[in-house]
Amino acid sequence: MDLMKIVYQIILAVISVLLIWDMFTQKDIKTQIMAAITLIPCLLRLAMIA
């Protein structure tokens, strides 16, 4: 694997973990929905689907 690809996936994994943590710790439902919607493209990119 290319080094840049590995670094990119590590960055996406960290962002995804932070979004999941934020989604479950927030009380406001709008913030939870926003985190979930933001998480979808990150997970797809992490899986190299999109």
User: Looking at residue 42, what is its pLDDT?
Assistant: 92
Q: Which residues of 22-32 are buried (b: 16+ CB within 10 A; e: fewer)?
A: bbeeeeeeeee
The pLDDT tens digits of the residues spanning 4-50 come to 999 999 999 999 999 999 999 999 999 999 999 999 999 999 888 86
> Given a cut of 80, is residue 1 above it in pLDDT?
no
Q: Domain containing 25: what range?
A: 3-46
User: Looking at residue 49, what is its pLDDT?
Assistant: 83
pTM: 0.82
Measured CA to CA in angstroms, residue 41 lies from 3, 27, 29, 44 at distances of 22, 23, 20, 5
Q: Are 35 and 23 in contact (CB under 8 A)?
A: yes
Total domains, the chain: 1
Question: Can you list the alpha helix ranges (DSSP code H) found in 1-50?
Answer: 3-25, 29-46
User: Looking at residue 50, what is its pLDDT?
Assistant: 64
Q: pLDDT: is 1 or 30 the higher one? A: 30
Angle between helices 29-46 and 3-25 (to 10 degrees): 160
